[in-house]
Amino acid sequence: MAMVLWHGPAKIKPESLSMAFLSDTLARVKPSATIAVTNKARELKAAGRDIIGLGAGEPDFDTPQNIKDAAKRAIDEGKTKYTAVDGIPELKEAICAKFKRENGLSYTPAQVSVGTGGKQILYNALMATLNPGDEVIVPAPYWVSYPDMVMLAGGTPVAVAAGIETNFKITPAQLEAAITPKTKWFIFNSPSNPTGAAYTRAELKALTDVLLRHPHVWIMSDDMYEHLVFDDFEFTTPAQIEPALYDRTLTCNGVSKAYAMTGWRIGYAAGPVALIKAMGTIQSQSTSNPCSIAQYAAVEALNGPQDFLAENKKVFQRRRDLVVSMLNQAKGINCPRPEGAFYVYPDISACIGKTSTGGAQITDDEAFATALLEETGVAVVFGAAFGLSPNFRVSYATSDAALEEACKRIQSFCAGLR
């Protein structure tokens, strides 16, 4: 006899939706703090306030013209239908070529998965592998979504704090100490959101040496900011540094940050075939293929001219230097100079316990960010959202003029703290 698994729509009106109606899963996660700050800044701006938003994690540049043209061509050629769930063959080929060219890593198209942004790729991998009780090591400060995605997937995030004294990088001893028989993944993100810190070849080798001793631990390397490293810094990724880890590493990347394509929603990863297949199964029952047009645009991003990357890097490096220098002139702020990404993560220990000119008690970094927004119109994200306080994150992916004005306002806000 057939079993009825669906009983029709729940007879609950939206306005009477009670907490009891919501899932236990939802209770485990919170909305993204970075998106919340961006929305708040947008609302205040719409209400006529003079707001400078330093909250959003996206380049202020336009998507390069050749990429936009490729998308228009895809539309005109009718490439507007469902595609293979985890990516068109042309894009998988382009991704394999990118890994070979830029990272010295050999992958076949069957080892590649394409999703709706880097976010979906990471989410699929966690959903496809985590069981209740599984632990995932997440260096803190971390990108806001890692712990919540782990919890959504039923796992337990294990934060390992890396403070300003180690330039926001964890040590091999810390990694070793965090590993238990339950550890399933180590999430590695270099250059980092929110700190911009990037691990040198030697620092990464020291971490991969630890991982070699623990064959049950897999590595999820989030290389989203690969192309944003400054001065002579050399970007490296775990599977490249330690080939013996290749069979248990998922190397994740995307076009969002490097090619100013945040709205197009294309992310990708390469790893063992069985894992890639499992990720495809999750995607096949949730969103199916990423947007067909965006996939053709991503082929052009990866195969087309790459000069854009070097130009961008120059602009971001100049802005980093400007922001680090101006923030270090603000009273009570200590801002390290990061190697990459487009974020800085200043320490504000010396500001805690003070009172602002507007009368706000600066009890923690959230109070600092709230008072800063209300009194000066500068929107930043407080450190607690990233798991390390007291700090705040500045995204310097905005114009030099806006950055200069924002830093001046931060300086005068700090000067007014008593």
Indicate whether 286 belongs to the interface with ligand PLP (CB under 6 A): no
C-beta of residue 385 within 8 angstroms of C-beta of residue 342: no
- Residue that is written with structure tokens 């890692």 in the block: 146
For every residue of 308-338, DSSP letters joined together read HHHHHHHHHHHHHHHHHHHHHTSTT-B----
Q: Cis (ω within 30 of 0) for the bond into 338?
A: no
The two structure tokens encoding residue 48:
């006529």
Indicate whether 142 belongs to the interface with ligand PLP (CB under 6 A): no
Would you give the binding string for ligand PLP spanning residues 31-60, x where CB under 6 A is met?
--------------------------x---
Write down the least CB distance from residue 403 to ligand PLP, Å. Answer: 19
C-beta of residue 120 within 8 angstroms of C-beta of residue 324: no
Indicate whether 222 belongs to the interface with ligand PLP (CB under 6 A): yes
Contact range with ligand PLP by CB under 6 A, out of 114-122, 126-134, 148-156, 167-175? 114-122
Indicate whether 267 belongs to the interface with ligand PLP (CB under 6 A): yes
Write down the least CB distance from residue 226 to ligand PLP, Å. Answer: 11
Helix (H) or strand (E) holding 178: helix 172-178
Write down the least CB distance from residue 82 to ligand PLP, Å. Answer: 21
Give the separation between CA 416 and CA 364, rounded to whole angstroms. 17
Minimal CB distance residue for ligand PLP: 117
**Cα-only R_g, the chain:** 22
Pick 143 or 246: Cβ nearer ligand PLP: 143
Contact range with ligand PLP by CB under 6 A, out of 115-123, 228-236, 278-286, 375-383? 115-123
- Residue that is written with structure tokens 């599984």 in the block: 134
Residue from 99, 143, 186, 230 touching ligand PLP (CB under 6 A): that is 143
Contact range with ligand PLP by CB under 6 A, out of 112-120, 129-137, 210-218, 323-331? 112-120
- Residue that is written with structure tokens 């200069």 in the block: 404
Q: Maximum distance among all alpha carbons in the chain? A: 75
Residues interacting with ligand PLP, by CB under 6 A?
57, 117-119, 143, 189, 193, 222, 224, 254, 256, 262, 267
